[in-house]
Amino acid sequence: MTTNKRITLSSDHAAIDLRQVIADHLSTQGWEVVDIGPTSPESTHYPKHGEAAARLVASGDCDLGIILCGTGQGIMMAANKVKGIRCGVCTDAFSARMIRQHNNANMLSLGARVVGEGLALDIVDAFLNADFEGGRHATRVGMIDAIEG
Ligand code: RB5
């Protein structure tokens, strides 16, 4: 079980409802949820929301982050441009577990137009209940970090 307890959430307009479901789920599990919006259903631009959440994680303000857009792909691409962020899109619990265990992901991205609420919460739980294994995986993650310079 992870010891991280402060987590940021963000999304674009396509994922506001699913983001709220995840926020409620995390709150009942004792997480301190830093939900940085948006709250309006008006169309917005996913890169700025992905970047904002990523900066909270990269700065250490939050331990982990979960971001969402329609597919999870665009907001993930934006988040991964922030130095120190390792974010993967997951549509299954196995991948969500593995991006923590092997890739030391510090952010998870979900597609609200791809996964339903039940699957999304399974994916979230798999991500949060897994821990980085280190060892040979630390070498490889270090190689990813080195690409950033
Ligand atoms: C918005 O229509 C949509 O493009 C966005 O939510 C996301 O899927 C982009 O990757």
CATH code, domain with 24 = 3.40.1400.10
Half-sphere exposure in the Cβ direction for 114 (13 Å, CA): 15
Instruction: Tell which wins on pLDDT, 149 or 122.
Output: 122
Residue 126 tokens read as 């798999």
Residue 36 lies in a domain: yes
pLDDT digits (tens, 9 = 90+) for 55-88: 999 999 999 999 999 999 999 999 999 999 999 9
User: Is 69 noted as a catalytic residue in this protein?
Assistant: yes
Residue 49 lies in a domain: yes
C-alpha dihedral sign at 124, 129, 134, 137: negative
- Closest CA to ligand 1's atom 5: 70
For the chain, the domain total comes to 1
35: left (phi over 0), alpha (psi -120 to 50) or beta: beta
Q: What is the H or E stretch that residue 54 is in?
A: helix 46-58
Kindly state the average pLDDT of the residues 22-45: 97
For residue 83, the model assigns a pLDDT of 97
Residue 115 lies in a domain: yes
Closest of 88, 99, 81, 108 to residue 8, by C-alpha? 108
Range of the domain at 122: 6-147
pLDDT digits (tens, 9 = 90+) for 106-130: 999 999 999 999 999 999 999 999 9
**CB 76 within 8 Å of CB 23:** no
Q: Residues with beta carbon inside 6 Å of ligand 1?
A: 12, 14, 46, 69-71, 73-74
Residue 1 lies in a domain: no
Q: Examine the pLDDT at 132 and tell me if it is beyond 70.
A: yes
